[in-house]
Each structure stands twice: as C-alpha cells, then as structure tokens.
Amino acid sequence: VHSTSLTTLEICPNAAIGVDSSGMIAFIEKENVSTISDVQFLQNPQNQTTWSHARIITLHGHGFFFPGFIDTHNHAPQHPNTGLFGKTTLLDWLQTYTFPMEASFSDLARAKRIYQNFVGRTLSHGTTTCAYYATIHVPATNLLADICLQRGQRALVGRVCMDSELSPEDYRDASVSSSVADSVASIAYIRSIDEAGAIVRPIVTPRFAPSCTSECLRAMGAVAKRHQVFVQTHISENKSEVELVKTLFPLSRDYAHVYDSHGILGERTILAHAVHLTPQERATILARKAKISHCPASNTAITSGCCPVRSLLDEGHTIGLGTDVSGGFSPSILENVRQAIWVSRHLSLQTGKEADKLSTEEALYLATRGGAKVVGLEGKVGGFEVGMEWDAQMVKLGEVDEAEDRFESGPVDIFGWESWSEMVEKWVYSGDDRNTVAVWVRGRLVHRTGRFEGSGEV
Ligand code: GUN
Ligand code: FE
C-alpha cells in the first residue's frame, strides 16, 4: 500500500517486492504472486535462479507493507516534556517548559539516555526519516547524529542557533561568532561520520526569528549556502509570535521577508507551521521554493491555529507532516495523519467549505511522499518503485481466530469482511505502534516487535 499521487493510494494484494543487498527496490510484481516460485518465474521465466537465495519475508494474516513515515519537524530533546503544555501558548510554553528542558542537555549522559530512548520510540512508530532540532550544545547534537546512524534512522540533525535575549542567559549562544563556529563544528562532525549523507545529514537550524539577532540570521543563511546544507526554522505559528517579529524586525515587510532578506529562504528550507501567513508571504515562500512542515497536533495543543492546508496545496506549496514533539503531544506521524484530518475538518466547519477537508489518502501522502519532497528525498523514499530505497514498515492488524473465537493482538479488530481500503482506514483512525511490527531503512531491519515473524537481527 503506498501513495501514487496526492489523492491515490495504490493497493496491491498478492504482490511481491524484491530488495537488493544495497537496500534498493529491484523489482515489484504487483499481481498474482502467492508463492516465491511465482516471483522467481515472473522475474526470470527461463532461468529461475536469480532470486533463489533471497530471504523471504511473508506477511501472514491481515496487514500490508507501507512506506516509512517522514517526520519533517521534531525536537528530540523535548521528548521528556511530551504531553506537558497546560494552557500555555507558544511564547510562555517556550519559557516554562522548553528552554529549561533543552538547557539540561549540557549533561551528555542525560542527553544520551533521552536520545537513545527517543530514536527507538520514533522508529517504533514507523518513522524512517526525521528532521530533528537538537539543542545549542555541540556534543549532544553530535551524539544525536551518532545514535541515528547507529540505529539506522535517516535523519537531518541540527544544532539549534539562538543568540537573542528571548532565551535565558544560560541557554543561548554567547555571540554570533560562537554560534557560527558551533554550527560549523557540528556540520563538520556529522559529515565526518556519514560523508555521503546516506543516513544522517546536518541541517542549519536558526530556531526562529525572535531567537536570533539579524546578524545571526544572516550568518546562518551564509553557513547553509557555503556548506550546501538544508535549513530549518519556524514561521508564523502563533499570532503573538507574528506581532513580536514585527516589533523585532521593524524594517521587514513581514515574517517571511525577515527570512528572505537574511538569506534563509530557498528550496532547501523547511518552514514549520506556516499557520498565519499573508497572501504575500505565501507568494514569497512559493517563489523561493521553500517547503512547509504542517504540525497539526502541536497547533491544536498549544492553540496556535488551524493551518489552511488545502489552500496551501492548491497554491502549489510542498507540504509534509511534523510531530513537533513536544509542542505536539505524540511522536507518531500516524497520529499526525489523523490530527491533520481533524484540523482540516474543524477548518471546514468554520469556512463551510467541503473542499477544506483532507481525505485519508491525502493525509497519508503528506506523511510519506510529501515529507520526502520536504527533506530532499523525492524519488528515493516515501513510496514503492523500482530504484527507490526500501524504507518501509510492516503493518499488521488484528485477527479473528475462528477456532478459538477470539481476537488476537493489536488495537485494530479485523472481522474479515473489510475491503483493503477499509482496512487502511481502520489502521489510520485506530491504529498505533502496536501495528507497526517491523521497520526497515534502506533494506536494513531497524525495528521489530514480537509479532514480526521474519528473521533478522535489528
Ligand atoms: N518556535 C520556536 N521554538 C519552538 C519550539 O521549540 N517548538 C515550537 N513548536 N515552536 C517553536
Ligand atoms: Fe517546533
């Protein structure tokens, strides 16, 4: 099961996918496969030996393979705060919960515990690629990259830059030059552990305009350009934040212009939220080909607003989904698929426009193919095609055990009468990490549960 366009899910029962030893999809047989000898015959009718040594992983019962999820916006060091936000909104939430937690990552042993736990957690939810904000600390940021590489999760890992007085004195960059030096040091380290950037890549991360001085923003734009790396930041999440940006950058026309005039906006830029953009800002972002990370759970939790996803899509923006842990209360992209649909429905209730509602297919597209475009991996991950890499999750739903008249395992009950698309709908609306029984990145098994029947070490 995978997206072939924004509105289309392709479902191929009785299919087989061949993955070669480099983790690339070598063939796809979409129909009529019930045994491995069918595959061998279909692949090579004359000589049936080509795939005879392949390790075979068969999905028994109700379930399917689905592309790994792509989380385009996540703050790993905020994991311990997941679920904590009370009635705060962005600016007091940052001061109350976020900055003190992130500041504690000067303690590397603590960072190690939390990052190990969190990378395992996101993998268990089927996230095969994640754009992470770390903290201002170089050692802890580099450690997060080490852990992602070790565990095999594709990641963009960014040392957070913030030198303005918005942040507490004990948790901010001392100067523009130290901010640049630390960012460059982290970029160099991450490049040194994965030169090709096959699994982990550095990303320049000016937190957001209010956290940075004008000099720092400009310097970060230059670092990104010089080192040819992606940039991630936040934009127009909350109305008070938008007002604050106006007072901090009085010479700029609007929030998007602040980034544009400091060299931050380009096709390798990921902008989180984009809830309250003006038409002119949208035009700027589109012209620069910058990408948008929609974080629906976060936008509801800290009451930022309902992002107008339909109109952004209609205008041609590139959009993926982000958990925004811990503004968002869940590390799961599946949860954010649901939340994106809920937010679109609340928006539709306000506008009276049926078209504002996102469909299940559309939200799953944003979680996979959309996210791949946002992080620069279009054509590589996010779907199943020959030549793409095997970043996938095995989803198993519940089973009815006829003999014992009981339901076996998993939060989704399947009665046997459901169509394939109904099974996918049931997974989207009531599934969770218990259904994700195995996860692969580039052909490597990176997570498995007791319900996975295949072999292989993680
Ligand atoms: N804006 C600046 N920093 C943050 C953050 O950590 N989370 C969210 N959601 N918005 C931000
Ligand atoms: Fe965020």
* Phi (first) and psi of residue 192, to 5 degrees: -70, -30
* Residue from 266, 338, 347 nearest 313 by CA: 347
Same domain, 47 and 161: no
Nearest ligand to the C-alpha atom of residue 88: 1
Domain-embedded: residue 59: yes
pLDDT band at 457 (very low <50, low <70, confident <90, very high): low
Determine the average pLDDT of the residues in 422-447.
97
Ligand 1 atom 9, closest CA: 327
Q: What ipTM goes with this model?
A: 0.99
- Tally Cβ neighbours within 10 Å of residue 247: 8
**Can you give the pLDDT at residue 45?**
64
Question: pLDDT over 90 for what percent of the chain?
Answer: 87
Binned at pLDDT 50, 70 and 90, residue 411 comes out as confident
Going by alpha carbons, the residue nearest to atom 11 of ligand 1 is: 234
Find the domain containing 355 and state its range: 68-374
Q: Which residues sit with Cβ closer than 5 angstroms to ligand 2, an ion?
A: 324
Rounded distance, CA 42 to CA 335, Å? Answer: 38
The mean pLDDT of the chain is 94
User: 137 alpha carbon to ligand 1 midpoint, in Å?
Assistant: 17
* 234 and 220 inside one domain: yes
CA separation for the pair 347, 275 (Å, rounded): 12
CATH number at residue 279: 3.20.20.140
Question: Which CATH number fits the domain that encloses residue 58?
Answer: 2.30.40
Confidence of residue 84 (pLDDT cuts 50, 70, 90): very high
Same structural domain for residues 16 and 150? no
* Residue at 388 is within a domain: no
Question: Does 137 have pLDDT greater than 70?
Answer: yes
Same domain, 11 and 148: no
pLDDT at 33: 83
> 252 and 368 in one domain?
yes
Based on the domain organization, do 87 and 49 belong to the same domain? Answer: no
Report if residue 455 sits inside a domain: no
Detail the DSSP E strand segments found in 172-325. 200-206, 230-235, 269-273, 291-294, 319-321
DSSP E strand boundaries for 137-287 = 154-158, 160-161, 200-206, 230-235, 269-273
Residue 454 in any domain: the answer is: no
Give the position of tokens 């292989």.
456
How much is the pLDDT for 46?
64
Rounded distance between C-alpha atoms, residue 196 and residue 205, angstroms? 20
* 196 CA distance to ligand 2 middle (Å): 27
Name the pLDDT band for 385 (thresholds 50, 70, 90): very high
Both 57 and 123 in a single domain? no
Range in 15-24, 41-50, 347-356 with the lowest mean pLDDT: 41-50
pLDDT at res. 42: 67
The whole-angstrom distance between residue 261's C-alpha and the CA centroid of its chain comes to 28
Is 0.90 surpassed by the pTM of this model? yes
- The structure tokens 């700027």 sit at 284
Give residue 271 CA to ligand 2 midpoint distance, Å: 10
Domain assignment present for 386 = no
Q: Looking at the domain assignment, is residue 271 inside a domain? A: yes
Total length of the chain: 458
Query: Contacts from 415-420 at CB under 8 Å and sequence distance 24+?
Result: 420/1, 420/11, 420/13, 420/64
For residues 401-414, average pLDDT: 68
Residue 382 lies in a domain: no
CA distance 302 to 183: 29
Residue 398 pLDDT grade (very low, low, confident, very high; cuts 50, 70, 90): confident
pLDDT at 102 over 80: yes
Is 286 part of a structural domain of the chain? yes
* pLDDT for 243: 98
| Predicted pLDDT at 404 | 60
Q: Given this model, what pLDDT does residue 10 score?
A: 98
Say whether both 48 and 73 belong to one domain.
no
Residue 353 shares a structural domain with residue 401 = no
- Looking at per-residue pLDDT, the higher value among 281 and 403 belongs to 281
Predicted pLDDT at 38: 74
220-259, pLDDT tens digit by residue? 999 999 999 999 999 999 999 999 999 999 999 999 999 9
Give pLDDT tens digits for 197-216.
999 999 999 999 999 999 99
Q: Choose between 31 and 291: higher pLDDT.
A: 291
- Name the token pair of 355: 């078209």
Q: How far is the centre of ligand 1, averaged over its atoms, from the C-alpha of 221 (Å)?
A: 19
Total of domains in the chain: 2
Cα(211) to ligand 1 centroid in Å equals 10
Q: Are residues 81 and 91 in the same domain?
A: yes
3-class SS of residue 433? coil
Point out which residues pair with 248 in neighbouring strands.
none
Which pLDDT value is given to residue 451? 86
Ligand 1 neighbours by CB, cut-off 6 Å: 75, 90, 94, 98, 207-208, 234, 237, 298, 324, 327
Judgement on whether residues 22 and 96 belong to the same structural domain of the protein:
no
**CB–CB of 217/265 below 8 Å?**
no
Same domain, yes or no, for 53 and 127?
no
pLDDT of residue 79: 98
Distance CA 399, CA 414 (A): 6
Do 33 and 39 meet the contact criterion of CB atoms below 8 Å apart? Answer: yes
pLDDT in tens, 162-189: 999 999 999 999 999 999 999 999 999 9
pLDDT at 96: 97
